[in-house]
Structure 1
């Protein structure tokens, strides 16, 4: 997959140069000018004769997210990009004028200045072996005196994720690139993306967990206070906006607990005097709900704040407890009734009192049922309205 992205980007850039095969057939061996310095990039003279920093055009190609480790907030992905710049010191030499085509990448790096790019928030990176095509081992010199070469990497990117709103969470992970050894006095990075138009959304990728929107970041300057002396560095990059896909959690996280709550509401239609059946049903469903809640909490990403999962468990457990306490109140009332009427157990007055008490418990159960039946969906609507953004 990474090699495919690499080739697409390579051909996209070359498309501006004319016939691809003609460019790759030509070879251009640039000669280093006398007293040429690899340590400093060339400054460009503007129309007023003032010396300006060298512009390095950084074009992002496709990227493929391999996987995401939420526990240590790392993203593993394959990326490709092109670097493009013009060094007037090279082409001022008469021998290099009119030279264009491919040049061995190793020869270019060994003899000329090339951007020393650093991936700002990458913790690990390694080159992808794309040398199956010999053309990928070359840089290109364009007819308008630009140097271009492509890079393909596998990268481990460090991102700051906040999981308080899990599973409604979404995160921004900027991927930043800078030219580490040259300040903004010498080098300015100009970011671009293949088919990118004014920083709008380029494409949407889908991982196993997230939907990912990729956009170009505005070029900026970052202050490096760790260097001596401190310096300003040109920074470009793109932003990965991760939005968790909610549907898998509806079927595995929310729906089972909602079903258990509605099943517990059936207990309102079981007569109060059938204690074993009603109580065993309530306790079993409550323990099922607790088990589901603990499982969901354990599978959620780590967070040190009260979040959406905690609020969800509070709603579910609170509703269950309300149903259980309502039955406990009715049992207590029945116990008091039986105790108060113990001496007249065989009297007709007792039968009438028991009938009235049963009607009262039925009314309490009916009212409680409708309160739960209306309040619980209302709480769900409020919960999802607050969290889905």
Structure 2
């Protein structure tokens, strides 16, 4: 029966079947109904921008030339039957690589029913290109399509149509390693290719800058020009972030926090604070390189790069803070402040005043003062006494034998000197900056985290 139906004298396998309407008239496009069954979705290779899938694809169309009345309900065959009947040439637009699966023989099945309905089924392993948006990596969601399109016939001759019931079916046991399959949906569209393009006949006019008056229309795609029927299966994938949270974000947060330990060390502890800062910086850079090595090089900034830049800035900031306080710690001269606050401390520290000269203007015309200096301390103040002075010429009726000068102690932060100024030692300023850094750095990092996690999840 099959050999008789497909005999070349009555059947041309290279000619598409022309549909027949209820009035017996032939014409119009051949409608090919399509269904896809997804067995397996493999890993999504972000660097190569493709993913793999194992699918069963089935096409159904009507070929009145194959109508028969047989004792069997249908005629089934594999490659031999495929080579004798007309099969629509449908290709995968975003195909990276594909092959028909099968051990020993290809998994192809062709069924011809008595009413002329033909079913063509094939099991494929396909690698599909997926243009990913990695701005929110690793908190990204990707929509990867499977695009089917007619190759030889445009939509005036062949129309691809989804089956009305369950056009795309998923394996109930389907699981993915790095992604979670959120949803799957289908749609049908038309791919438009330009029929012609206009080019000037005489290229000399174009080279000379003139607008040529004669234009010819060149067929750009030849016989393939036109609108082609297209079917799309969209896989919405959501990346599983547990691996990245545990292997990247938690360790990087711990490294940033460890870099703040230097704020509790002595500002003069150069080996300890330097080793701590450089080791955390190098460890964090190594951690980040391992995380981003599997990603393609893109022109935009990814979420992981934002995290890397900010965390690097915090670790580097702790090193800069150490260099700053250590420089202040090694200064010899005290700093006079109008007020003990951040503004005046940083202003006086960054722009130290010129050394002031101490002058005594008490009406002394001339002479020298010499004597013995002694220090006497009590619970409330320290006294610097000068005794055994040589005679000096001064307007006072009695010679100066003893006088006392109150000297501020190193820990007396609020001691006011002449002109309403406060005096702090360099060591006190360095410790003051460390104390403020213990609060400022964690608070700033907490604010950044609030904005960052809102960005990646919204």
TM-score normalised by structure 1 residue count: 0.78
Q: Deviations over 1:310-332 (max 9, x none)?
A: 21111101111222222222222
CA contact (8 A) 2:19 2:62 kept: no
Equivalent of 1:163 in 134, 137, 142:
134
Decide whether the 8 Å contact of 1:29 with 1:103 is kept in 2.
Answer: no
Decide whether aligned partners of structure 1 residues 246 and 187 sit closer, same or farther in structure 2, where only a CA change above 3 A counts: same
Match of 2:410 in 1: 353
Aligned partner of residue 45 in structure 1, secondary structure = coil
**Is 2:177 the partner of 1:208?**
yes
Structure 2 residue 255 is matched with structure 1 residue 260? yes
The alpha-carbon deviation at position 147 of structure 1 amounts to 1.6
Q: Which of structures 1 and 2 has the larger relative contact order (alpha carbons within 8 angstroms, sep 6+)?
A: 1
3-state SS of paired residue (1:81): strand
Which of the residues 144, 157, 182 maps onto 1:186?
157
CA distance in 2, matches of 1:250, 1:122: 33
- Kindly tell me: are residues 355 and 277 of structure 1, through their superposed partners in 2, closer, same or farther at Cα, counting changes over 3 Å? farther
Once the two structures are overlaid, the 10-residue window that deviates more, 45-54 or 379-388, is: 45-54
Q: Deviations over 1:114-138 (max 9, x none)?
A: 21221222132211116789xx664
For the aligned residue pairs, the C-alpha RMSD in angstroms reads 3.4
Tell me the equivalent position of 1:32. 6
Matched, 1:378 2:447: yes
Quote how far apart the aligned CAs of 1:239 are. 1.5
Q: How does 1:244-259 map to 2 (within 5 A)?
A: 244-259=239-254
Q: Deviations over 1:127-181 (max 9, x none)?
A: 1116789xx6642234654221310111222222343432223322221112212
Q: Which piece of structure 1 moves more, 64-73 or 180-189?
A: 64-73
1:60–1:194 Cα contact (<8 Å) kept: no
- Look up the match of 1:275: 270
Deviates more, 1:363-372 or 1:313-322: 363-372
Which among 26, 30, 40 is matched to residue 54 of structure 1? 30
Determine which structure has more spread, i.e. the larger CA radius of gyration: 2
Among 217, 221, 226, the residue aligned to 2:190: 221
TM-aligned CA distance change 1:79 to 1:209, over 3 Å? same
Instruction: Provide the C-alpha distance between the structure 2 equivalents of 1:234 and 1:203, rounded to a whole number of angstroms.
Output: 30
Unaligned runs of 5+ residues in structure 1 are 1-26, 341-345
Residues 131/286 of structure 1: CA separation in 2 closer, same or farther (3 Å cut): closer
- CA distance in structure 1 between the aligned counterparts of 2:181 and 2:173, rounded to whole angstroms: 5
1:43 matched residue in structure 2: 18
* 8 Å CA contact 1:164, 1:305 repeated in 2: yes
**CA shift in 2, pair 1:283/1:123, >3 Å:** closer
Structure 1 residues 316, 203: CA separation in 2 closer, same or farther (over 3 Å shift)? Answer: farther
Change (3 A) 1:200 1:122: closer
Give the paired residue count. Answer: 352
Is contact 2:35-2:166 (8 Å) kept? no
Partner of 1:20: none
Could you tell me how far 1:47 is from its partner in structure 2?
4.9
Aligned equivalent of 1:237? 232
Unaligned runs of 5+ in 2: 195-219, 336-373, 376-381, 383-405, 414-424
